Each structure stands twice: as structure tokens, then as C-alpha cells.
Amino acid sequence: MVKVYSEIYGCAANVADAEIALGILRSRGHEVVSNPEDADALIIFTCVVKKPTSDRMLYRISRLAGYGKRLIVAGCIVPGEPEKVKRIAPDAIMAHPRAVTEIWKAVEEGLDLPNPLNDVKLGYPRLRRNPIVAIIPVSEGCFWRLCSFCIVVRTRGRFGSYPLELIEKEVRESIREGVREIWLTSQDMGSYGIESGRSRLPELIRRVAGVEGFFLVRVGMMNPLY
């Protein structure tokens, strides 16, 4: 058993990634602790959306590296600014944000985790930060070309929608577990299902709203131009 400490920053999608990674670790018999001094391994789920945020991430990485324990750097800074991470924490293990379902390999075996390209982050155990809120990713990446002001394509990759049936199943199971808020999340929500030639976001919302039970639905993030 490994004792794992984590820090989570950034958007709802990043929180969902962390909940999945920690849920899988717990299902494999590891313990999640609240103090880095008590841990055998440290994980930081990073955000790099703005320079002040990136600077804060680098500061936290340097502080965590100072504990001299196995350090896993996850989240958007890994594909976004890997050279900066290695400069301040050369021994850090790097986990691509699309590889959160395999973070157990970084914890148990010390393996770097590159982009697996096609992982669907649904159907995994979760360790929810809030027991009444289920953050459910519906896609990964951005459909649109690289914008000069945005780092999403570089950090999260090209767009891919998750199957509507799997999303609906995740919602149903979450409601059965006592969840009262469903957060549908994505880096490019407005493009959901666009691989079919048009956005299927209205259809997705209708399907989720049709699930039996009393719950709220929150939708984000999207660009109004799309």
C-alpha cells in the first residue's frame, strides 16, 4: 500500500481527472492522505491556463519536490511546459492529462505516462471531492485550430467526443449513488458530437435531463462563437 497526497488546481475537467485517478488508486488498495509529510507519493494536478497560474504551479512543484518523495506531476503543465518542470524537479514523474486512468502506474512503478490518445474517462471509480457533485467529462481536447491566445490544443490535444450512451450511464449511476448535481464538463463543450457533422450538445442535454431523479445539471466550458 502506498500513501498518496494530492493537490488539485484548475478547471472542473482537471478536478474530474483527479477524482478518477485517486478513485482508481483507492480501488487498488492505496490510501489518500491529507498531509504530504505522511505520504509516500505526491501528485499535483496542474493548470497552466495563464502565466500567473503557471508560475504558481512551478512554485508548488518545487516545494513538493523538496520533500524528497516520489513526485508525480499531472495536468496541463506536462505537455504545456515540460522543460520548466524538469528544470526545477528533474526527478519528477510526468503524467499526461489524457493518462489519468494510468496514474497508478506512476505511483506503483515510477513510470512516465505519455498521451494514450484514445482513453475515455468514463466508467472508472472516483474519489469525489464533493459527494453530492458528479463531474462528468463528455469530451477531450478542442475541435478548433490552435488559437494564439489559448493553450488547450497543445495541452489536451485534438477534439474527441465520448459516446452519449456512456455519458448517460455515468449520470444514472451517479444519481443512484446519491449525487444531486451533475456537472457536464469539457474544454470545448459546444463542439460535443461535431464529428457527426453538427453539434449534438442539445441532444446530450435532453438525454441527461431525461434520467430519472431529482438533480441539477451544470454545463461548461464552451466558446459562444461556436
Residue 74 has pLDDT above 70, yes or no: yes
C-alpha torsion sign, points 86, 88, 90, 91:
negative
CA distance 226 to 223: 6
Q: Please tell me which residue, 146 or 189, carries the higher pLDDT value.
A: 189
Angle between the N-to-C axes of helices 201-209 and 164-176, in degrees from 0 to 180, rounded to the nearest 10: 30
The confidence score (pLDDT) of residue 55 equals 97
Q: What is the pLDDT of residue 108?
A: 98
Strands 160-161 and 139-140: antiparallel
Report d(CA 132, CA 83) in Å as an integer.
Answer: 38
pLDDT at 52: 94
Q: Angle 111-114-117 (CA atoms, 0-180°, nearest 5)?
A: 140
Minimum mean pLDDT among 71-80, 110-119, 130-139, 178-187: which range? 110-119
Q: Which helix (H) or strand (E) holds 60?
A: helix 51-65
Question: According to the model, what pLDDT value does residue 224 have?
Answer: 62
214, with CB counted inside 10 A (0-12, 13-18, 19+), is exposed
- Quote the mean pLDDT of the chain: 94
Alpha-carbon distance of 92 to 72, in angstroms, equals: 6
> Which grid cell sits at 139?
469530451
Instruction: Give the pLDDT band (50/70/90) at residue 150.
Output: confident
Please determine, for residue 226, whether its predicted confidence score (pLDDT) is greater than 70.
no
- Look up the pTM and report it: 0.93
Domains of the chain: 3-109 (3.40.50.12160), 133-220 (3.30.750.210)
Give the model confidence (pLDDT) of 4-40 as tens digits: 999 999 999 999 999 999 999 999 999 999 999 999 9
Going 60 to 65 to 71 to 77, the CA torsion angle's sign is positive
For residue 23, the model assigns a pLDDT of 98
What's the mean pLDDT in 74-100? 96
pLDDT for 192? 95
Give residue-wise pLDDT tens across range 108-125. 999 999 988 778 999 999
DSSP letters spanning 25-51: HHHTT-EEES-GGG-SEEEEEE--SSH
Pairwise CA distance, residues 213 & 203, whole Å: 19
3-state secondary structure of 174: helix
Residue 54 main-chain phi, psi, to 5 deg? -60, -45
Question: Which of 128, 117, 125 lies closest to 183, judged by CA?
Answer: 128
